[in-house]
Structure 1
Amino acid sequence: MSLHSQYKVKTSFRRKPLAAIILASALAPNFAFAQAASTGIVEEILVMGAVAASAATTSLEQVYDLPQSQSVISGDILERELGLDYEAISKRLANVTFNQNNTRGASLSIRGVGKRAFAEVQDPSVLVVQDGVSFGLTALGNFDFYDVESVEGFRGPVGTWGGKGGSSGAVYVNTKRPSFEKESDLSLTIGDREALIIKGALGGPIIDDLLAWRGSFVVDKGRGYYKNRYNTNYTLYDKNRLSGRVQLLLTPTENFEARLSVDTESRAPQLQNGLTFYHDQPEFYENGQPTDPTGTSAQAKLAGYYSYPNLNDLSNRTWVPARDWFVGRDFNGDIYTYEDYVSGEELEEVYFNQIEGQTVSNRGALLELKYAFENADFKSVTAVREYTFDAHNDEGTPFDINIDGGGGVFYRQYSQEFILDGRVEDAFKYRVGLFLFKTDNDITSKTGWGSDAGAWFASNTQYNLLDRNAGDNRGSGLALLRDTLDNARKIGHTYVNTQSNAIFGQLSWNWHPSAQLTAGLRVGTEDRTTGDILTIENHGSGRALNPVGVRDVKLGGFASITNGNLGTNIPNADGTVTLVNNNTPEQLSLADQVANRYFGVPITDIPGQAYESLTAAQKAQVGAAKSIRAAQVGQLYSYVESDYDDTLYTTLLTQSFEIKDGIKVYGTWQYGEKSGTAFQINGEPVGVKPEKTNAYEVGLKTILFDDTLTFNIDAFVMEIKDYQQAVRAVDDFQTQVNIDNGIAPEQAIAYITAQGNVNKVKVQGVEFDAVYSGIEYLSFRLSGAYNDARYKDFKNSPKPPELNYLSSPFVDQTGGRLPGAALWTINYGAEYRVPVWQTEFHASFNTAFTSDYLNNDDLSSYSRVPSYSRTDVAIGLGRLNDGFDVTLIVKNAFDDDTHEVGWVSYSPYPYRRWVGLTFSGTF
């Protein structure tokens, strides 16, 4: 059989319910489905190019032999219910969770493992593969998926079959390939919030039996549900996406084929970040102590707070009013108050002035070569992908506080994979391969400040010096508050370069007609270099208030005290800032400029004389301004670099037995290692150890009642050593600063939350997938998991905010469930398709249920997300002869808005109820 003929699906008209197609889509990977449009009758379904089962064409029964926990959905199901992204996919794959964030920070979890923050220096736990190309970043797939053939989810460590490898599982997205049959599909969707979605695919032979092509595209535009009160032209979670893909298939001989695929998504701005609602900070900790006795919260600055001079006597308190700087400020004819800051949920809107959002792009190319030998098939996949991300964030108010802050990513990956699939008679099948992978990543962090930043970030004491209690010097104090951070910009670059190479192999031995033993091994090397630089990009209006320098980064400020600790300027006991003798004439002149600019003191011929003539109160104001600036500038450093290299292993051992026709049991052991990494905390190199997972699984797979019922179930245990996530670690830089400031060494130790290792995690549970199609025209789908993911040894957890009163820098979270890991997830749905005269009526729904969980890494009780369920519905009518169809689609039909929560803020669920009408046809 020629390779290109494998892409033709045979059909005939033996009566069989359409649900057999759904059965195939739910249980077997990488299907091309044969469907008779009028009655949904099929005789034969051929499985082609199964990623995890075989490189050659196989049958449904052969895929049933695959002894591994998996879920699969067809592209047809996603198409009918307008499922375009990770969020839609995760609602239809058992025990796969989409951790919502913006385009850069979102992640996938399998079995509760994989939730992560913005940590591009580390590999994802869940491998994402599109058309045989492994994604080094989950963000490469956080766009629209279109022209999809099928999506497969595999649970447990993967890697012996090829690709990059995933320590907790993998999701494969398989798009439709070119064929030598003419194809043309087009759909147009119009819907709520000015939505316009256009999808199309066109293809067929260019030269019969030699060259075929396929082109596909998606346009996805629409407003988001949440409004920005500052400028109502902008909405949050709007869509502005345009993607296209072109493929060529060359088949010069029966044994050889080549496929070239090129895709691109153009850069376009979207407001996929900044959707944050705020609420009152709790007034007291669990021990009854006040949470904000010194007035650092937004509530204190915008509405006022109670000051407690003696925390042992809480009855003695003083009300401190809001900061005058922010009172009575007018925006768009409205006076902005604290009530505006916290009323977003009620009004379903945000109110901030930094509305540039984020701009992203994604593009790539692959060349796939296949050659069929007599007893083996060879495949080569060469690919390159590029991704960019640029975000501009806001602190959540219309004031000019954070300006041009956010993050950026420029990521590029190169991959080359060689695979040889072979067979030795009927007893052995094998796969061996080589995987080469290189990534280059420039991660940018940006912090910028506006003219309101000084007043916002000042401590209560500093604000009193510069404004409330400034007396005759109030004008000078307000000028210092305005200038200290205005228009300053701080920028950091993290350069991550990785080279990953691996050899892998898998052997299956049919040692008995009803028994198969499979063993696999992957040996990979990881070589990663991480470099960091953090500096001031623009000094802004307050350049003269700079520290002398931070570490080896010289900032040119004047020194004010003899123990200047890396050049920062701490006021004397009385609040003044005194010049020291080791200032250069240039530094003394800079101090004179400050005295002249803010206090009108004439500059003399003697450097430093003008500054020294200031009063103690005036020097205290300068000291406060310099301290505000130094605190926000924080750490700086020139280029620092660290390296990580390791050899990583993945193994697989599985035994399956067919008890009787259509009933198979199996047991599997999987072992996987996730690469560690090297990175810097405040410029100090630290390391994260590799993550090691042992997974044990026993399962049952069935095809029963004349192929009308399929039920798969497995029980699993995963033990993870050195689990990678946020932990509490020593901040060596800040500790040294504290020591330089005269703090006793035993009290000077500072801590920071950073990526690290949890000693041990254990995940155990049961997963199941079922499809029933015994009722004509009707099929049911059910999948889900009971998933108990817990820390078995986590003594260095960051403190949740409600426990910040504790003196210990750590809390012990041993026994707690992993963040984002719900105990129960259940997906269920049904589809009804029936001929009506010359048309076909179809209706379907899909419901995804998730039980409650804690969302934050610190397991704060304030981050509890209650149980929820979300339902998508599709109802349509189509003609039989030309494939024209009209479908009404309702996503999140019951408008569930269950959302992530937090100590003082939370992100509402962005995908609110949406109704659309889709017109589609095959021409």
Structure 2
Amino acid sequence: MTTKHRLRPLTALITTLSATLASSAFSQEAAAPAEPAAEAQALGAVTVRSRNRIEKLQDVPLSISVIQGAELDRLGAVGIDDITKRAANVSWNLGNQRTSSISIRGIGKIGQTEAQDPSVGIIVDGVSYAYNALTSSFDFVDIDTIEVTRGPQGTLLGKNASVGNIIFTTKRPSFTPTADFTLGFRQRDGLFATAAIGGPIVDGLVAWRGTFSANRGAGDIKDPYNRDISYTNTDRISGRVQFLVTPSTDFKARFAFDLQPRAGETTNGRSFPVISPPTTYSNGAPITSLTNEQRLGRRWFKDNTGYSLSDYQNTLTTDSVRGLVTGSSGATADLNWQVAGHTLTSITAYKRYHFNAVNDDPTPFDVYRNAGGFWNDYWQATQEVRLTSAPGGFVDYQTGLYFIKVNNQVDYRRWWGNDAGAWFATNAQYGRLDADGAGRDLLRNSLANVKASYNSPTGVQDIRNKSTAIFAQANWHFSDALTLTTGARFTHEDRRNAGTSRITSDGSAPELDPSIVNGVLLGGFDSYLNTGAAKWVKDGLVVPAGTAGAVQVAAGTANAPTVALTTDTTDAARSASALAAADKAAAKYFGVASWNALSAAQKRQLADAQAIRRANVGVLFPTTTAEPYKATQPAWVLSPSYKFSRDLTGYASLQHGEKAGIAQFVNGVSTPVKPEKTDSFELGFKSALLNKTLILNADVFLTRIKDYQQSVRIVDNYTTTQTNDGTRYYTSATGNAPKVEVKGLEVDGVYGGIRDLTVRFSAAYNDAKYKSFPNAAQRVEDGYPGSSPYTDVSGQPLAGAAKYTGNVGVDYRQAVWGDKEINYTANVAFSSSYYSDVNLSAYSVVPKSTTVDAGIGFGTRNKSFNVSLIVKNLFNDDTVRNISSTSYTPAIPRSVGVQFMARL
């Protein structure tokens, strides 16, 4: 049996792995023209590390796609978007550097919060990343291989993942001196450069490899307000250094350090308004919500003759936008001992990440100085200890312990400007306040310079997660042909979250603060005209219940009759403070001595200004601890495989995995999310055909998920309780869809039967649906007044899941002039349409798309030099990336560049 071979010493594996992979068709490092047969025979020799050992791809009973670093290098593919275009049934959701996400089989593309685990695991050199943002703003350079494993994972690989892993393996240090360089120039002032240098420090004892990359360039859309701002620019510099220490044949250690200094890329705000948004709901009722176009028609904004509605519709013109700042650093110690026929591995790692967003509204007006942006400081510490037996004999196995600790400090910040009041006022409020000078002062000061940490689920979060796991997996070789793989994992999750939402600056008019919001004292006052239910009122002002001499009146009536009276004096001081604030506001805006001297119209203007402020600062609450999530979660795999011949293996796989529940707030109320449980069945084969010139692997799968985590419609307990008017209010938050089912077919292959030509291909049919989801939020077109807050989408497509995906990669080398060649390379990625909105709105359908990247180059056959013309998005596919009833995110247009590569 070919899998029964003696495990080589790990020191030899590291130094020989590059040569092994170089002989494979996936690596596309083909033999010289005189030896075409060598290339064909190499197709079955592709090796993978997806099960923590070096194995032949064709012997692993999993759905796996393998992408070689050499293929990425030829087309300058370094970002996660480029990488996911090279494997079927894998996609990347374009958001910003924090909100982007990866999906496998359509699962995990829509929706992600700070306290939530990603559905797709990312493993880089043996280290699991527990936060999506760690992949979205980085360049993956000096890559050896990338492996995509589908289905629940966790019985072997670091942190458990509910739908699959993407495993990055960088090129390792060796005792053979190497020096590889890349320098590329592209449109829009683009510059890309990499250098990877390594070799022995102390021959036979210490080797090193240093990798540096720089990627700079402007985006395709300029900001007319500041033409040095462009969407989406690139600004990334990173470095990685690795050391290999081999004091004996039984021990080796790899130490790695990486750094990406903080830099800003303008990603948020890359969206345009839909020119003709819908004006009616599906039942014909008019849509009455205030639009940006209507706001821009107000005198306040029309007075600016240098800006028009046409500018809003056709340009990205913002005054306060800044690049989203990201940066990271990390360290890894990877130790391996050969002990009594086993390999004992210890991987200790630390990773830190920073994110800071300063967003803006889509106008040059001073509406926001920060339209709501996350400030994150994230770090994780991981430890894995693993024992691996040598292959061969009746059984080979792996077992180990895994621990991860996560701390994520989150602050969602808002900062309003002088034009915010005029922007956010209702039509009635704006009409009353824009009527005279005092009203316009109030309109400006209602939000001018106010700062808050507020968002849903919450403004400030202190997220602390711990996961501890024990795992084991064994391959039982019942015969040379029949192998049974079994594995199990138990993970104990402890997830905690403390949060608050608060005003951090009262801005230009602290006297316009309310007196109290949700138990948070703000020191202001409340006009009776600014209430939505029966309140305690004294001298026309709402003050806290229990104030001496206060009377209860019906809200919104200027001369309401007395309903009740109290003589409690405990809040007398608070009442006096509220009255003082009211008198100050009366004097500041109307020049009168006290609140009582104001006319009813003036009181109404004060009430309007306060209402604007109250509506925008949102839900406030003191530091509170959410209900924690604590549980022990299982994962397991049962997978028989049978070698029908040397070139044909069939397998079946039954997998179970779970994603942890979430400790979170919704408007200050602890609202936990249940864990997500996934069961997946897979039946497939792996074959080498046509004298091993064609590798063809395929599988059918069925995945069922219980309590799928995504944005859902839930009761807003805070608003319902605070309003207390007999109405139940609703909001959207991360929750659980009861049942999701995904089934389909996947094909992966490579053909190398024609000399100097390699064709890699993959395709997938993916039928992803909500099996049961009776309480989904209404589509935007069906949210007319009086409609149900919920709709049943059972049987409807899963948001973010395309039914058909595929890609083809072609590499052809034509020998010319002795040892020179012309090389042609291309990658074609296809996706059918899908919903980009969890509510499945008809306005959110992203159409089908086909993107082609291509290059033509000239260089030496031994790769010592090559120069290429590279075109990304060759045919300028303009399919939108996201779309809704009011806005859309355009595609990244065609880009042309020249790339030089050299190897010394």
What residue number does 2:76 align with? 82
Identify which of 776, 781, 785 aligns with 1:797: 776
Q: Secondary structure at the residue paired with 1:774?
A: coil
What residue number does 1:862 align with? 843
Indicate how the Cα distance of structure 1 residues 660 and 189 shifts in structure 2: closer, same or farther if over 3 A, else same: same
Indicate how the Cα distance of structure 1 residues 12 and 260 shifts in structure 2: closer, same or farther if over 3 A, else same: closer
Q: Confirm whether residue 155 of structure 1 aligns to residue 150 of structure 2.
A: yes
Please give the per-residue CA displacement for 1:28-58, whole angstroms capped at 9, x wherever unaligned: xxxxx78669978568799899432452x44
Please give the per-residue CA displacement for 1:5-40, whole angstroms capped at 9, x wherever unaligned: 222339999xxxx99633467xxxxxxx78669978
What residue number does 2:310 align with? 339
What residue number does 1:506 align with? 473
What residue number does 2:10 align with? 3
Q: Take 1:102 and 1:527, find their aligned partners in 2: how far apart are those partners? A: 28
What residue number does 2:399 align with? 432
Q: Which amino acid aligns with 1:476?
A: A
Q: Take 1:567 and 1:488, find their aligned partners in 2: how far apart are those partners? A: 24
Q: Secondary structure at the residue paired with 1:845?
A: strand
> Is the Cα–Cα contact under 8 Å of residues 43 and 694 in structure 2 kept in the other structure?
no
Alignment: residue pair count: 859
What residue number does 2:500 align with? 533
What residue number does 1:494 align with? 461
> Is the Cα–Cα contact under 8 Å of residues 110 and 168 in structure 1 kept in the other structure?
yes
What residue number does 1:282 align with? 278
What residue number does 2:685 align with? 700
What residue number does 2:64 align with? 70
Map 1:333-372 onto structure 2 (within 5 A). 334=306, 336-344=307-315, 350-372=316-338
Structure 1 length normalisation: TM-score? Answer: 0.90
Q: Take 2:148 and 2:801, find their aligned partners in 1: how far apart are those partners? A: 17
> Is the Cα–Cα contact under 8 Å of residues 658 and 665 in structure 1 kept in the other structure?
yes
Identify which of 298, 322, 327 aligns with 1:323: 298
Q: Take 1:424 and 1:593, find their aligned partners in 2: how far apart are those partners? A: 82
Identify which of 709, 713, 718 aligns with 1:733: 718
What residue number does 1:100 align with? 94
Structure 2 length normalisation: TM-score? Answer: 0.92
Structure 1 residue 402: Cα displacement:
1.8
Q: Which amino acid aligns with 1:513?
A: D
Q: Which amino acid aligns with 1:289?
A: A
Identify which of 144, 158, 176 aligns with 2:139: 144
Q: Take 1:24 and 1:244, find their aligned partners in 2: how far apart are those partners? A: 24
Indicate how the Cα distance of structure 1 residues 531 and 673 shifts in structure 2: closer, same or farther if over 3 A, else same: same
Relative to structure 2, which stretch is displaced further, 188-197 or 792-801?
792-801
What residue number does 1:573 align with? 556
Identify which of 614, 629, 647 aligns with 2:632: 647
Structure 1 residue 682: Cα displacement:
0.9
Q: Which amino acid aligns with 1:262?
A: F
Q: Secondary structure at the residue paired with 1:234?
A: strand
Structure 1 residue 338: Cα displacement:
2.1
Q: Secondary structure at the residue paired with 1:512?
A: coil
Identify which of 425, 446, 459 aligns with 1:458: 425
Q: Which amino acid aligns with 2:444?
A: R
Q: Confirm whether residue 553 of structure 1 aligns to residue 515 of structure 2.
A: no
What residue number does 1:621 align with? 605
Q: Confirm whether residue 833 of structure 1 aligns to residue 808 of structure 2.
A: no
Q: Which amino acid aligns with 1:233?
A: D
Structure 1 residue 297: Cα displacement:
1.5
What residue number does 2:596 align with? 612
Indicate how the Cα distance of structure 1 residues 38 and 526 shifts in structure 2: closer, same or farther if over 3 A, else same: farther
What residue number does 1:681 align with? 666
Q: Take 1:146 and 1:381, find their aligned partners in 2: how far apart are those partners? A: 22
Q: Which amino acid aligns with 2:171?
A: K
Q: Which amino acid aligns with 1:902?
A: S
Q: Secondary structure at the residue paired with 2:635?
A: strand
Gaps spanning 5+ residues in structure 2: where? 1-7, 454-458, 529-533, 537-541, 546-551, 567-571
What residue number does 2:894 align with? 913
Identify which of 440, 445, 448 aligns with 1:483: 445
Please give the per-residue CA displacement for 1:115-154, whole angstroms capped at 9, x wherever unaligned: 2334011100000000000000021122111110011101
Q: Take 2:208 and 2:801, find their aligned partners in 1: how far apart are those partners? A: 43
Please give the per-residue CA displacement for 1:618-640, whole angstroms capped at 9, x wherever unaligned: 11111111111111122101111
Please give the per-residue CA displacement for 1:257-312, whole angstroms capped at 9, x wherever unaligned: 000000010001110211111123311111111111xx62212222xxxxxxxxxx
Please give the per-residue CA displacement for 1:44-73, whole angstroms capped at 9, x wherever unaligned: 799899432452x44xxx331111111010
Indicate how the Cα distance of structure 1 residues 432 and 144 shifts in structure 2: closer, same or farther if over 3 A, else same: same
Relative to structure 2, which stretch is displaced further, 767-776 or 799-808?
799-808
Indicate how the Cα distance of structure 1 residues 528 and 673 shifts in structure 2: closer, same or farther if over 3 A, else same: same
Structure 1 residue 401: Cα displacement:
0.9
Indicate how the Cα distance of structure 1 residues 135 and 34 shifts in structure 2: closer, same or farther if over 3 A, else same: farther
Q: Confirm whether residue 879 of structure 1 aligns to residue 860 of structure 2.
A: yes
Q: Confirm whether residue 220 of structure 1 aligns to residue 215 of structure 2.
A: yes
Q: Confirm whether residue 382 of structure 1 aligns to residue 348 of structure 2.
A: yes
Q: Secondary structure at the residue paired with 1:624?
A: helix
Q: Confirm whether residue 393 of structure 1 aligns to residue 375 of structure 2.
A: no
Map 1:508-527 onto structure 2 (within 5 A). 508-527=475-494
Indicate how the Cα distance of structure 1 residues 8 and 48 shifts in structure 2: closer, same or farther if over 3 A, else same: farther
Structure 1 residue 596: Cα displacement:
1.0
What residue number does 1:606 align with? none
What residue number does 2:803 align with? 823
Please give the per-residue CA displacement for 1:445-498, whole angstroms capped at 9, x wherever unaligned: 01111111111111111112112xx3xxx1111010000100000012111100
Q: Secondary structure at the residue paired with 2:237?
A: strand
Q: Confirm whether residue 373 of structure 1 aligns to residue 320 of structure 2.
A: no
What residue number does 1:305 align with? none
> Is the Cα–Cα contact under 8 Å of residues 697 and 716 in structure 1 kept in the other structure?
yes
Q: Take 1:729 and 1:136, find their aligned partners in 2: how far apart are those partners? A: 27
Q: Which amino acid aligns with 2:704?
A: E
What residue number does 1:848 align with? 829
What residue number does 1:316 align with? none
Q: Take 2:22 and 2:559, find their aligned partners in 1: how far apart are those partners? A: 80
Gaps spanning 5+ residues in structure 1: where? 26-32, 303-321, 345-349, 604-609
What residue number does 1:765 align with? 744
Please give the per-residue CA displacement for 1:204-246, whole angstroms capped at 9, x wherever unaligned: 0001110000000110000001111211111011011100000
Relative to structure 2, which stretch is displaced further, 74-83 or 654-663?
654-663
Indicate how the Cα distance of structure 1 residues 535 and 577 shifts in structure 2: closer, same or farther if over 3 A, else same: farther
Q: Take 2:490 and 2:402, find their aligned partners in 1: how far apart are those partners? A: 10
Q: Take 2:116 and 2:888, find their aligned partners in 1: how far apart are those partners? A: 26
What residue number does 1:307 align with? none
Indicate how the Cα distance of structure 1 residues 659 and 54 shifts in structure 2: closer, same or farther if over 3 A, else same: same
C-alpha root-mean-square deviation of aligned residues, in Å? 2.4
Q: Which amino acid aligns with 2:810?
A: A
> Is the Cα–Cα contact under 8 Å of residues 214 and 247 in structure 1 kept in the other structure?
yes
Structure 1 residue 374: Cα displacement:
3.8
Q: Take 2:477 and 2:230, find their aligned partners in 1: how far apart are those partners? A: 58
Structure 1 residue 571: Cα displacement:
10
Structure 1 residue 162: Cα displacement:
2.6
Indicate how the Cα distance of structure 1 residues 261 and 12 shifts in structure 2: closer, same or farther if over 3 A, else same: closer
Q: Which amino acid aligns with 2:672?
A: G
Q: Confirm whether residue 721 of structure 1 aligns to residue 706 of structure 2.
A: yes
Q: Confirm whether residue 166 of structure 1 aligns to residue 161 of structure 2.
A: yes
> Is the Cα–Cα contact under 8 Å of residues 121 and 496 in structure 1 kept in the other structure?
yes
> Is the Cα–Cα contact under 8 Å of residues 48 and 147 in structure 2 kept in the other structure?
no
Q: Take 1:413 and 1:477, find their aligned partners in 2: how far apart are those partners? A: 51
Please give the per-residue CA displacement for 1:323-375, whole angstroms capped at 9, x wherever unaligned: 21111214xxx2x222222223xxxxx11112212110011010000011242
Q: Take 2:205 and 2:44, find their aligned partners in 1: how far apart are those partners? A: 22
